[in-house]
Amino acid sequence: MLVMLRTTAVLLLTTLASVSGGSCTEDQRIDFSPLERQLMIVWIGTEWNHKSVVTAYNSLAQHSWRQLREKYVSLPLTDREKVVVRMFDLWMTGLNASLDNGQSQTVAMHLQHLRNALQDLRPQYGIDHPADVLYDFIRSWEWVEEISHDQMMCLVEWNEYRDAYERAAEKWQESAALTVGYSDHLFPGLTRYSAQAENARVTLSVALVEFGELIQRADHGLMAVPSEEIRDHFFYYLAVITDYPFAAPAI
């Protein structure tokens, strides 16, 4: 099922790129950045249970998607391309319905599908997009966090746990290359709150180093709470760089 969804995501975004000339220009990236930022803020808001933020930014994201959809479907599309666009539309509709019905797990699923869709296109066209590094990090960290809460250590061996941590830490190091080139549309906080963004990044980096030191002690009972704290640090950092609209919880 996951393979099918990721394949569909690639087809969808390949369609969106190809119908506009077969290459991703700076203008095209700017077109998608407002939608992606809005979806990121919905993601943060669901994590923090900020219902008013989620409602407001879901509405903005739905509006942004309708505008993009109208732009692309007004061009001549093959039957296959039309199906792929409808699939993305289905995820956006599903997100909206899940929020209306208070289905938090389904909301998370639709947001993940949409992030995958945006991410899967970019390597196809050589776009070095900083959001992808953040998506890769939190996906890697969620696995570390799951292992950290596995009290009986049934999921993996300890060396595999250490390897999972190291892969996530490497992904985070890559995030240091986030550029201000995306600051106006996707990460406005990188320039608007540059000191706060850097402090948040350093805080997470230090927490990762300390987590690695705990792993060396090989005491699984120490790992669950620090793994949660790193997740908290990540969402705080993401909130700062996206210019999240409400004051973020203190970390």
- List the CATH number of the domain containing 68: 1.20.120
Same domain (yes/no): 186, 229: yes
How much is the pLDDT for 72? 72
Same domain (yes/no): 86, 76: yes
Same domain (yes/no): 103, 158: no
Would you give the distance in Å from CA 56 to the centre of its chain?
19
| Rounded-to-integer distance, Cα 111 and Cα 209, Å | 29
* Dihedral angle over CA of 138, 142, 148, 151, nearest 10: 170
pLDDT of 8 over the 60 cut? no
Same domain (yes/no): 134, 111: no
pLDDT of 12 over the 50 cut? yes
Same domain (yes/no): 177, 111: no
pLDDT of 84 over the 50 cut? yes
How much is the pLDDT for 9? 46
Same domain (yes/no): 55, 154: no
The domain tally of the chain equals: 2
Same domain (yes/no): 109, 2: yes
Same domain (yes/no): 12, 114: yes
pLDDT of 49 over the 60 cut? yes
Domain containing residue 8? 1-127
